[in-house]
Amino acid sequence: MDLLARPAEDPADSRTYLLNEKTVQRYRSAVTESVTRIGAKIAGTTRPFTGITVDDLTPAVMGVDLDAPLHDAAAALDELEEVYLRDAVYFHHPRYLAHLNCPVVIPALVGEAVLSAVNSSLDTWDQSAGGTLIERRLIDWTAERIGLGEAADGIFTSGGSQSNLQAMLLARDEACRRALTADDAPSPTPSTPFEQEGPPAARRTDVLPRLRILTSECSHFSIRKSATLLGMGAEAVITVPVDEHKRMHTDSLAAELARCHRDGLIPMAVVATAGTTDFGSIDPLPEIAGLCAGYGAWMHVDAAYGCGLLVSRRRALLTGIERADSVTVDYHKSFFQPVSSSAVLVRDRATLQHVTYHADYLNPRRMAEARIPNQVDKSIQTTRRFDALKLWLTLRIMGARAVGELFDDVIDRAAEAWKLLHDDPRFSVVVQPQLSTLVFRYVPGTDQDPELGDRVNLHAREALSASGDAIVAGTVVDGRHHLKFTLLNPETTVEDIATVLDLIAEHAGTFLAGQPRPALSAR
């Protein structure tokens, strides 16, 4: 009997698609088939991308009749090859050098298979039990690695943007509480009106327009987006200049904090970045912590990228992070976990009460009084996947040291790549990296026309992607288009990087050869 084939035509047979004790063999066969195919695909992938265009792929996807099911897993996987797998971007390939997408470790994939099948929801104890405790243990472990202290806590999130949003929400409500009570009293208990409804509307409205978030000009866009989502507006974000290493300039930060104080504004939060997206730069955390303490500002560290340093031999690069009030970590970046796996951690668990709401059907107050751990009490989400299981199995099978070694490998490779770029007259590199990103620009010979340089670099990136031979990212520095390597694959070699640089130069040269020569001026 073909366990993947269509069941008999009987309305009741729709139940054969449900995973239960009656369909375990069908489940095994379907999953085995999919794993076998993906394994073959991974083994046979010779390029990170096929170079397919939106216009070429769209008809295949839009032409699928979703009201005509195939009733056959093998046939559906055949179809999936055409609409997805053949043209997917494969992050495991050593010449994928674009964004903060990592190859994933096998123990995490085991966790992904388990959590998808059991399908626990991590909002309440009665939906997850052991899952609740595993997530809490991993939060404690991460907080210990950061050094936040015994009162620390946190919650897994969908990614760095959500973690930053929740951190800014907590900072906002703490700033409102402090401004409205004019003291340093502990955060309100769950029985206070503040937790359920916020402070009186008129008084809160007086405070909100005065709140400011200070962050570097190289910080993640989610900080400005968070300010907008929280009703403060993007104008509430004060951009602090960076130094020549793309790190927040602390003298400028001090000046901005002093200006806020003079103008009657409230610096509700300073966001330090431990691994900027473009440059991998780490802001001077100890100095920022000192300024935050002096001005009573919430210190948030966005370590979505740099969190891998927590298990690295370079842990000292994060010195000062232990003084933060909140921290963002993205395990699905430098811990080599599948998307999604992120968390936000706080120094004082009481501040999480700003997102605590009780529903009689879900987490009534009596459950908190009975000390039943419901994770929804800490989260801005309700239903949440058991993404913590991936990290749990990673730590239990391969260990934290092995994860750190992988991250150290890519940082080492970035240092070697920087030397290649620095010594190559075809390119100019912006800054020596602290982590594993490199921003650089192809220099079109002796021609100093910056607009021509922009066109050359844009063309080289697009042509490289269209070829499928490699994928690199792009960004803008001082108004000019640059290229960017983001190294997160320990299998990427110096030879791979050198080859990609040669390909970039080749595409750039082809573009320049097609440009009209400037007319000679008359004598």
Residue 21 lies in a domain: yes
Give the separation between CA 484 and CA 98, rounded to whole angstroms: 7
Asked whether residue 308 is assigned to any structural domain, the reply reads yes
Residues 240, 321, single domain; the answer is: yes
How open is the CA angle 273-277-280, to the nearest 5 degrees? 70
Question: Among 354, 371, 388, where does a domain finish?
Answer: 371
Judge contact between 390 and 113, C-beta under 8 A. Answer: no
Model pLDDT for residues 270-296, shown as the tens digit of each residue: 999 999 999 999 999 999 999 999 999
pLDDT band (50, 70, 90) for residue 321: very high
Domain-located, residue 380: no
* Whether residue 296 sits in one domain with residue 211: yes
Q: Are residues 281 and 363 in the same domain?
A: yes
Same structural domain, 364 and 407: no
Q: Do 415 and 315 share a structural domain?
A: no
Q: Whole-angstrom Cα distance, residue 73 to residue 71?
A: 7
Same domain, 365 and 453: no
User: What DSSP character marks residue 367?
Assistant: H
Angstrom distance (rounded) from CA 218 to CA 279: 8
Q: From 325, 354, 371, give the residue that closes a domain.
A: 371
Number of Cα atoms under 13 Å in the Cβ half of residue 351? 27
Q: How far apart are CA 310 and CA 324, in angstroms?
A: 15
Q: Is residue 521 part of a domain?
A: no
Angstrom distance (rounded) from CA 327 to CA 299: 9
367 lies in the same domain as 406: no
Mean pLDDT of the chain: 92
480: which DSSP letter? E
Number of domains making up the chain: 3
Main-chain dihedrals φ then ψ at residue 213, nearest 5 degrees: -115, 130
Question: 362 and 491 in one domain?
Answer: no
Average pLDDT value for residue range 101-124? 97
CATH number of the domain that 428 lies in? 3.90.1150.10
Domain end, chosen from 42, 59, 90, is at 90
Q: Is 503 a domain residue?
A: yes
Residue 116 lies in a domain: no
Question: Mind listing the pLDDT tens digit for each residue in 484-515?
Answer: 999 999 999 999 999 999 999 999 999 999 88
CATH of the domain at 348: 3.40.640.10
Q: In this structure, are 220 and 343 located in the same domain?
A: yes
Of all residues in the chain, the percent with pLDDT exceeding 70 is 92
Amino acid sitting at position 50: T
Percentage of the chain exceeding pLDDT 90: 87
| Same domain? 323 vs 428 | no
Q: Is residue 342 part of a domain?
A: yes
Check pLDDT > 60 for residue 316: yes
Q: What is the pLDDT at residue 521? A: 47
Can the peptide bond before residue 340 be classed as cis, meaning omega within 30 degrees of 0? yes
| Residue 223, domain extent | 151-371
Do 331 and 193 sit in the same domain of this protein?
yes
Predicted structure pTM score: 0.92
pLDDT band at 518 (very low <50, low <70, confident <90, very high): low
Contact between residue 367 and residue 424 where contact means Cβ atoms under 8 Å apart: no
Question: Which pLDDT belongs to residue 502?
Answer: 98
pLDDT (average), residues 117-132: 96
Distance (Å) of CA 204 to CA 76, 226, 257, 351, 365: 54, 18, 22, 18, 26
408 plus 357 within the same structural domain: no
pLDDT of residue 10: 52
Q: In what order do the strands lie in the sheet with 342-346?
A: 153-157, 342-346, 326-330, 298-303, 266-273, 211-216, 237-240
Task: Report the distance separating Cα 237 and Cα 390, nearest Å.
Answer: 35
> Does the pLDDT of residue 196 top 50, yes or no?
no
Residue 115 lies in a domain: no
| Cα dihedral 46/48/53/58 (nearest 10) | 90
pLDDT in tens, 341-357: 999 999 999 999 999 99
Position 181 confidence tier, pLDDT thresholds 50, 70, 90: confident
Summarised one tens digit per residue, pLDDT across range 255-266 is 999 999 999 999
